[in-house]
Amino acid sequence: MPVTDISPARARELQQNGCLLIDVREPAEWAAGMAEGARPVSKSELESQACHHLESYGQAAILICAGGKRSDACAAELQRQGYTALYSVLGGTQAWIDAGLPVSPYSASDFDRRYARQMILPNVGREGQQKLSNSRVLIVGAGGLGSPCAFYLAAAGIGHITIVDDDLVDLSNLQRQILHKNSNIGQNKVNSAKSTLNDLNPTICIDIHKDRITTINISNYLNNIDLVIDATDNFNSRYAISDACARRGIPWVYGAVHRFEGQVSLFTASIPDGRGLCYRCLFPESVDGPDAPNCTEAGVMGVAPGLIGVLQASEAIKRILGIGQSLTGRLLHIDLLSMTTHDTQMQPDPECPICGSNGGAGAP
């Protein structure tokens, strides 16, 4: 199937209607100026890691290079990989400029300046920062845990963050849910979150969905995801996350708060790899119901989800970079009133209905 070539004017029209425009030239070429709003991703990177930049095989994307040849070749390669909605700009960036379409400056040092204090770390560096930029993280919940976690993941340069939440911003949220402001009351939390994070770091992609995670829809959000953050406030969604991640071998970071206390851990169960220890190994059945703790009735110190959310972000970054000692197999408990912490060592349950070695992978 031949690549669909389009004029710069048509490309601009599609871009303004929400289509992704990707500049596949090299950084030295970007420095001379780029089509306004284009995302800089070199041809070699896009061809080798398309899943980090395109959400699905059917996502529409326009490729642009200097004169049109590289974007044609890149689109052809991506088509070979299964991507189906690709366009290439005839004449490339030069034709874009000749048509009088807007161009924005690109400074190769923007990346360096933004992440300078992070890249100077000996176990991060430019290579590690690029890993973060190429990573895709799903955050389930934009409330007390999701707010600080999303803030720090966006600031750290996680390249693609998907946020799922079905709630609206309420005045009572603002004591702890720092993604939202007084002016956001009544808005969808995901819209408020996207606006805040785009202001913080406009170089990353924030994808939002107004939805509530269940066992039925969780799989819709796991394609091409490297790691999941559980920032929920209900057990049913948490079990759905744990079960689905175990079946696909996707790591996920657990967090929970109650009054002045919090817990955090990293679960890496993988049925494809024969590796156990999922959330059901600890809590085989949901405790949702009138006896389940919730912050509406029990209350919560605002800094408790702030602290746990930041720790979740830390675990996520460490996992993506492959550095440090993670909380896999350990449940970290923090009590803010006594300012004490303790670890609980966890072991896989061979009888676990999801990841157990004596059966497993069954229905919850």
How crowded is residue 182: how many other Cβ atoms within 10 Å of its Cβ? 8
In angstroms, the CA 330 to CA 231 distance is 18
Give the CA count within 13 Å in the CB-facing half-sphere of 273: 12
Classify residue 254 by its DSSP letter. E
Strand partners, 64: 23
How crowded is residue 211: how many other Cβ atoms within 10 Å of its Cβ? 15
Close Cβ partners of 131 (under 8 Å, ≥ 6 residues apart)? 320, 321
Phi/psi at 178 (nearest 5 deg)? -75, 0
237 and 145 in contact (C-beta within 8 Å)?
A: no
In angstroms, the CA 206 to CA 160 distance is 6
Q: Got the DSSP string for 54-96?
A: -SSTT--EEEE-SSSHHHHHHHHHHHHHT---EEEETTHHHHH
Active site members: 295
236 and 286 in contact (C-beta within 8 Å)?
A: yes
